Chains A and B, each alone.
Chain A
Amino acid sequence: MANQKSFLSKISKNSKMGFLNYGIVLLFFVVITILRSTGTLSNTMNGQLIPICSYIIVALALNLVVGISGELSLGHAGFMSIGAFSGVVISGALKYSGFANPVMRLVTAIVVGAFIAAIAGILIGIPVLRLRGDYLAIVTLAFGEIIKNVLNCLYVGVDENGLHFSVTDEVHMDMAANGKTLIKGPQGAVGVEKIATFVAGIILLFVVLFIIQNLVNSRTGRAIMAIRDNRIAAEASGINVTKYKMVAFVTSAAIAGAAGALYGLNFSTIVPKKFDFNTSILILVFVVLGGIGNLTGTIIAAALLTVLPELLREFQDYRMLAYAIVLILVMIATNNEKIRSLWKRFFSKKDKEEQKA
């Protein structure tokens, strides 16, 4: 009986956390909508809304790999990049073939971006997931760099015969004269129509939260976490380690691709260099500062840390320095035994009070 009770309370705690996440996103949406309608939101902040959504989504995706699956990935910007560029190509191609509805084009772009990123995730996952620990991290880093390098040489255009690709220059695409170049190698995607909207970002965020939370609280999610906690024990219990690691990795890649498509369609130009090692690290910082494996923390950290450099703009030269110092101090503080025990005491008190009530 007692056992059953604790089990029930655990489940309700899980769903409570789930509703909390939806609530935070909803609150964010409502507050921003009110601020926008009253016109108090500054222009720079307004421009940051869709990137914030994208970064939250990609941070949630990385959390699936780092927090839930327990593997370190240093190449998630690569998946974002694949999503962004395939999204831009699809949107451009659809527009060229007379498909004007921006909402449908955005949805198609996001779905295709996610799909292509998932394929990349499978291709990368096969060799990567055989490795362990730091070696896995360095290979994901390597893949991120390879994706950036290859996209840097890629030319894509569209004419009435369909899509044309080249890895050398524009001329080699053999496009008809009335064709349109969509991606121009190192210059990236140019003349992108900005069809991403804040509402679309929020909806995508809800969908992603729904997918991740249900995955984590499912049989598959528990298997993934069992592998994270003890791979050998999980394998001995009959869990297919490669399969479940792959599920987490590919889902994460697909979500990152969707976020990338949203991000890419928010700017008129986008270069492959944008998604380099530093961007991967930035996303990792969101996850680690938010609390590894903690979705609520990830959402808040990603939102705050995307806005923070913008807010610190008046300090100019000192802002990145301040950012670095804050990063180091937070890491030291959160790993300090004394501060940790204080934190625990505070929270366990709160829990007890809740139980009394």
Chain B
Amino acid sequence: MLNYLITGISLGSVYAIIALGYTMVYGIAKMLNFAHGDVIMIGGYAAFCAGAYMGWPTPCAILFSVFVCTVLGMMIEKLAYKPLRNATSLAVLITAIGVSYFLQNMALLIWTSNPKSFPNMVSFIPSINLGSVTISSTTIATIAASVIIMIALTLFTEKTKMGKAMRAVSEDKGAAQLMGINVNATISVTFAIGSGLAAIAGVLLCSAYPTLVPTTGSLPGIKAFTAAVLGGIGSIPGAMLGGILLGLLETFAKAYISTQLSDAIVFGALIVVLIVRPTGLLGKKITEKV
């Protein structure tokens, strides 16, 4: 029981980190970035190359992965999404899917479809023994990382000038521009942060589930997106809550109900929540203007 609880929170924390990236981008650019899951995959491969091929020390490998993803995220934003700033949301969605295919197939060409076994990059953290239960180093790292990231992001959006600009852009792009905020730069920074988080999520995800293939990011991506919606997309604590809930639900469904049906149960829960609270658990209510 306790074991499942810990596994669930650990899995949920990974979802939470990915969901934070989704939520940031959605809150500011109002777009569903379906390529986010594939940025995670690229982050995993980048860390793998730096750590296992080139033999860099772990912190350097992780930093390298964050760097690669940040640059990648900004490039994607600049090349694919920026020309569509004024297009319909559907056009942006399809472009995001195009980017997702692109990244997957690039990875397929560079690293082939053979699974790579990912080294545990966070094993330097000691595991804790609590009587019958052992909390692994990956679990500790994942939970710690997600909490730190959430606090840092909240502080960033509440206290810094850039964070204030982000909130302004997410509320009203036009008015923000009139107040002298550089909207394009703000969106670019948002993508950079989101993609950097994706790299960390990639390293943690691959440390916990050590097979790395070009489609590694797809399913966690979709589930994290579900988590973001569950918690109320656009809300930072919502993403965290949604991620943890989803992870717990998935683990317990797998343990007590059925392995095959666990995904169906997770998605079913999302539907129930959205019927009761149409904008998610911590989402803002949308008032309609006529």
Contacts and interface: CB of A to CB of B under 8 A. Distances in A.
Contacts of A66: 90
Given A288-B94, A320-B105, A327-B98, A150 B229 contact: no
Contacts of A285: 94, 97
A135 interface: yes
Given A138-B226, A324-B98, A335-B91, A143 B274 contact: no
Nearest to A230: B290
A193 B177 CA distance: 63
B171 to A, nearest CB: 17
A292 interface: yes
Contact of B90 (A72, A127, A153, A327): A72
A292 B90 contact: yes
Contacts of A153: 258, 260-261
A219 interface: no
B271 A127 contact: yes
B124 to A, nearest CB: 37
A332 B260 contact: no
Interface string B68-109: 000000000000100110111111011101110110111011
Interface stretch (B46-54, B197-205, B262-270): B262-270
Given A135-B229, A138-B225, A150 B278 contact: no
- Most chain B CB neighbours (cut-off 10 Å) among A139, A153, A331: A331
Contacts of A317: 105, 108-109
A149 B279 CA distance: 25
Report, as a range, how many residues of chain A touch the other chain.
Answer: 35 or more
A320 B101 contact: yes
A322 to B, nearest CB: 9
A37 interface: no
Interface residues of B, number: 44
Contact of B260 (A149, A289, A325): A149
Interface string A119-163: 000000001001111110111011101100110110000000000
Given A139-B274, A143-B271, A321 B109 contact: yes
Interface in B244-290: 258, 260-261, 263-264, 267-268, 270-271, 274-275, 278-279, 288, 290
B87 A335 contact: yes
A234 B223 CA distance: 36
Contact of A331 (B91, B279, B288): B91
Given A127-B275, A134-B32, A335 B83 contact: yes
A133 B229 CA distance: 12
Interface in A309-331: 317-318, 320-321, 323-325, 327-328, 331
Interface string B221-240: 01001100100010000000
A232 B222 contact: no
A214 interface: no
The 7 closest A-B pairs by CB, nearest first: A327-B98, A142-B267, A324-B101, A149-B264, A324-B102, A335-B87, A328-B98
Interface of A: 66, 72, 127, 130-135, 137-139, 141-143, 145-146, 149-150, 152-153, 186, 232, 277, 281, 284-285, 288-289, 292, 317-318, 320-321, 323-325, 327-328, 331-332, 334-336
